[in-house]
Chain A
Amino acid sequence: MKKGTASDGVVYHAGFPNAGEDQRFESLSIDQLIFRHRASTYLWRIDSQGVPQLGWQAGTIVAVDRALGPREGDLVVAVVDEDFTVRRYRSGKIEQLDGRAETSQEISLWGVITHAVQEYRTP
């Protein structure tokens, strides 16, 4: 016999249970997504030229995590001739977004791009 049905003659309160009573939770925040690693995540802003290849307009905010090792196809921040640039990691190398090899000798990986936040309406 199923327990807790009305035929048992037991009266049940049918209101919604208050989840807040025995459970602690936080409202969602986009931080949970972007700052998986608080210590190593830095925010950047795309300059006035934007990155059309990726559909990023000028001013797009980009999250970069320095704790991650790059994986095949990752977007990364690379220092090219002392400039910070958006590049792609492929076959163990840093290449330009259109797939061309990077010509500069002075190139190093700064961090892996994890998210882009596009603002469509400024306050």
Chain B
Amino acid sequence: MKFALVDCNNFFASCERVFRPGLEKRPVIVMSNNDGCVIARTNEVKALSIGMGVPIFKVKDIVRANRIQLFSANFELYGDISQRIVTILRQETPLIEVYSIDESFVDLSELPIDDTRAWAKRVQDRIQQEVGVPVSIGVAPTKTLAKVASTYAKTHHNGIEIVDTDEERREMLRDMPIEELWGIGRKLAPKLKDKGVSKALALIESSDAWLNQQFNVTGMKMVDELRGQARIPFGDKSDQRKMIMRSRSFGHAIRAYHHLESAVATFTAQAAANLRAQGSVCRGIVTFLDSGKIDRENRIYASQLVTLDEATADTGQLISAALKGLETAYDREGTYRKAGVIIVNIQSVEEWQLSLIAGDEKRDEKQALMRAMDRLNKKFGTGTVWHASEAHGDSDWQSRRSQRSPRYTTRLGELPTLKR
């Protein structure tokens, strides 16, 4: 097996730099929209020891002293740039799994590639040249190793790390801190360190008996993968679906809005990509949040359907709809263990065009939508889904985005300007 992970460097910040050449060497921070936490930062910012998730007011002196450029998140821009990168990857290889807004796996096992490094370099150069965003690429025999390799590549070998031999694998893992590993959260890392294991190689070369005590089944899968045995299958290639769901359980409970926001935007971008891949458009998207079981009795499941005026498969439109849904579903008091989006009321492009000609699109669509809502309500309990128009509070949605850059690539009214 041979997998590549193509990972964008400081993705949101890199997107902002595409249209701001003056920021090429300057520190850039992208903030969440509402509470002003750091959600992306360039290497110059990392060098100033400003961490992810830090509230911006806590570092405002450093920001001023170092003339750090701040941006509010511009998810339409990031979604569009992400889509462009996926388009290029699809031209280079048939088997890709869009993992998140800034990462895609590629299955190279079956491809007739003689020189993997040359292939990776070509992909890296194309994305830099054609889209304008730098990427790191890790290639390895398992997905987990490919992920580690892409992290390693950010500081080695000009952004490309190919793990072929056992020696290369061990070399890479030798100094890799365990907290950088997939599936080892902030909770587990200190525990393992207390037991004297702080580097990835030392971890996976511990005895199986000891590892079995530390990890559950998923954790052991990760260990196998780091040892070079593929355990995580590549992508899922299902046929046309009538609902597309993308969700993930978080390793720990999440309260902060900005975490949920980027998760929801990511899921939406993935779901929208699937929607287009199957040649469909949709008229609605449900955003949902799940607290998991708080105790025997309590579990908060909140969701919000947002309907779209026009059928679409456009990432930007779907992301802004999904984020509107999140606004309504989100409760400041809640903590969440899972979030996701469900694209509903899916039609093929052909069906949609036919219904436009027949002139009864609205009626059909309403019926289909009601059926979709009914199904969801049945599955998750009454009140799960309701129309956005029935809910309150769409109110200050726009006003918070004070430092958002223009949506250069998704709005005709916000195109970048060119001088003579």
State the A residues within 8 Å of B (CB): 37-40, 42-47, 49-53, 61-62, 66-67, 77, 79, 82-86, 97, 108, 110
B53 within 8 A of A: no
Q: Can you give 14 A-B contacts (C-beta < 8 A)?
A: A39-B87, A39-B131, A42-B416, A43-B412, A45-B418, A46-B420, A47-B419, A50-B420, A82-B21, A84-B21, A84-B417, A84-B419, A85-B418, A108-B21
B386 within 8 A of A: no
Q: Quick check: B419 and A85 within 8 Å, CB to CB?
A: yes
Q: Quick check: B419 and A86 within 8 Å, CB to CB?
A: yes
Given contacts A39-B84, A39-B88, contact A62 B131 (CB under 8 A): no
Distance from A82 Cβ to chain B, minimum over Cβ atoms (Å): 4
Chain B neighbourhood of A46, CB < 8 A: 417-418, 420
Distance from A42 Cβ to chain B, minimum over Cβ atoms (Å): 7
Given contacts A38-B84, A40-B84, A82-B21, contact A45 B130 (CB under 8 A): no
> By CB atoms of chain A within 10 A, which of B87, B91, B417, B418 has the most?
B418
Residue of B nearest to A38 (CB): B87
Q: What's the dominant secondary structure at chain B's contact region?
A: helix
Q: Quick check: A79 and B21 within 8 Å, CB to CB?
A: yes
Residue of A nearest to B20 (CB): A82
Residue of B nearest to A53 (CB): B420
Residue of B nearest to A96 (CB): B420
B22 within 8 A of A: yes
In the assembled complex, the Cα of A40 lies from the Cα of B415 at a distance in Å of: 15
In the assembled complex, the Cα of A44 lies from the Cα of B415 at a distance in Å of: 5
Q: Quick check: B415 and A85 within 8 Å, CB to CB?
A: no
Q: Quick check: A45 and B131 within 8 Å, CB to CB?
A: no
Q: What's the dominant secondary structure at chain A's contact region?
A: strand
Residue of A nearest to B84 (CB): A39
B43 within 8 A of A: no
Chain A neighbourhood of B132, CB < 8 A: 66
In the assembled complex, the Cα of A39 lies from the Cα of B416 at a distance in Å of: 17
Q: Quick check: B418 and A66 within 8 Å, CB to CB?
A: no
Q: Quick check: B415 and A61 within 8 Å, CB to CB?
A: yes
In the assembled complex, the Cα of A43 lies from the Cα of B126 at a distance in Å of: 19
Chain A neighbourhood of B126, CB < 8 A: 67
Contact with A along B349-367 (1 / 0, CB 8 A): 0000000000000000000
State the B residues within 8 Å of A (CB): 21-22, 84-85, 87-88, 91, 126, 129-132, 408-409, 412, 415-420
Q: Quick check: B409 and A42 within 8 Å, CB to CB?
A: yes
Chain A neighbourhood of B408, CB < 8 A: 42
In the assembled complex, the Cα of A67 lies from the Cα of B21 at a distance in Å of: 18
Chain B neighbourhood of A37, CB < 8 A: 130
Residue of B nearest to A67 (CB): B130
In the assembled complex, the Cα of A98 lies from the Cα of B415 at a distance in Å of: 26
In the assembled complex, the Cα of A62 lies from the Cα of B151 at a distance in Å of: 38
Distance from A47 Cβ to chain B, minimum over Cβ atoms (Å): 5
Given contacts A38-B84, A38-B87, A66-B132, contact A43 B419 (CB under 8 A): no
Picked from B22, B84, B416, the residue with its CB within 8 Å of the CB of A82 is B22
Q: Quick check: B418 and A40 within 8 Å, CB to CB?
A: no
Residue of B nearest to A51 (CB): B420
Picked from A44, A53, A67, A97, the residue with its CB within 8 Å of the CB of B418 is A44
Q: Quick check: A44 and B417 within 8 Å, CB to CB?
A: yes
Residue of B nearest to A62 (CB): B418
Distance from A113 Cβ to chain B, minimum over Cβ atoms (Å): 9
In the assembled complex, the Cα of A110 lies from the Cα of B20 at a distance in Å of: 11
Q: Quick check: A39 and B420 within 8 Å, CB to CB?
A: no
In the assembled complex, the Cα of A67 lies from the Cα of B132 at a distance in Å of: 10
Chain A neighbourhood of B412, CB < 8 A: 43, 61
Distance from B349 Cβ to chain A, minimum over Cβ atoms (Å): 10
Chain A neighbourhood of B415, CB < 8 A: 43-45, 61
Residue of A nearest to B91 (CB): A39
Q: Quick check: A45 and B416 within 8 Å, CB to CB?
A: yes
In the assembled complex, the Cα of A83 lies from the Cα of B88 at a distance in Å of: 28
In the assembled complex, the Cα of A65 lies from the Cα of B126 at a distance in Å of: 13
In the assembled complex, the Cα of A84 lies from the Cα of B132 at a distance in Å of: 15
In the assembled complex, the Cα of A99 lies from the Cα of B39 at a distance in Å of: 45
Residue of A nearest to B350 (CB): A24
Chain B neighbourhood of A62, CB < 8 A: 418
Residue of A nearest to B80 (CB): A42
Chain A neighbourhood of B87, CB < 8 A: 38-39
Q: A37-B130, A45-B418 are in contact. List 8 more A-B contacts (CB 8 A).
A: A38-B87, A39-B131, A42-B416, A43-B412, A67-B129, A67-B130, A79-B21, A86-B419
Q: Quick check: B130 and A47 within 8 Å, CB to CB?
A: no
Distance from B301 Cβ to chain A, minimum over Cβ atoms (Å): 38
In the assembled complex, the Cα of A50 lies from the Cα of B362 at a distance in Å of: 43
Residue of A nearest to B87 (CB): A39
Picked from B22, B130, B419, the residue with its CB within 8 Å of the CB of A40 is B130
Q: Quick check: B416 and A40 within 8 Å, CB to CB?
A: no
Chain A neighbourhood of B129, CB < 8 A: 40, 66-67
Residue of A nearest to B414 (CB): A45
